[in-house]
């Protein structure tokens, strides 16, 4: 196994970890309070943005890792 495939697989594993962190960050920063008359949305927008940033970085790393792992030669 050459180095580009190894680095590609490593990037894909790191992207899975960042994706998990992103999903849990988004889920942890969203809550709803449902009373019988009204529904209140309690969200931390900055925390949700941070989660989306994690997901974006994870997507880029996954793509780069897949590209490196699928390269032929070297």
Choice between 11 and 34, residue whose per-residue pLDDT is larger:
11
Give the containing element (helix H, strand E) for 5.
helix 3-28
The number of domains in the chain is 1
Reported pTM: 0.78
Mean pLDDT of 48-66: 94
Q: Domain limits at 49?
A: 3-70
**Mean per-residue pLDDT of the chain:** 87
Q: What per-residue confidence (pLDDT) applies to 1?
A: 66
What is the CA angle 51-29-13, rounded to 5?
A: 35
Tens digit of pLDDT for each residue in 20-54?
999 999 888 877 777 777 877 777 788 889 999 99
């Amino acid at each position: 196994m050459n180095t580009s495939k190894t680095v590609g697989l490593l990037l894909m594993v790191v992207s899975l970890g960042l994706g998990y962190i992103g999903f849990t960050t988004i889920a942890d920063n969203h809550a709803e309070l449902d009373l019988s008359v009204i529904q209140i949305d309690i969200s931390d927008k900055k925390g949700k943005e941070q989660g989306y940033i994690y997901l974006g970085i994870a997507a880029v790393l996954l793509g780069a890792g897949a590209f490196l792992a699928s390269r032929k030669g070297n």
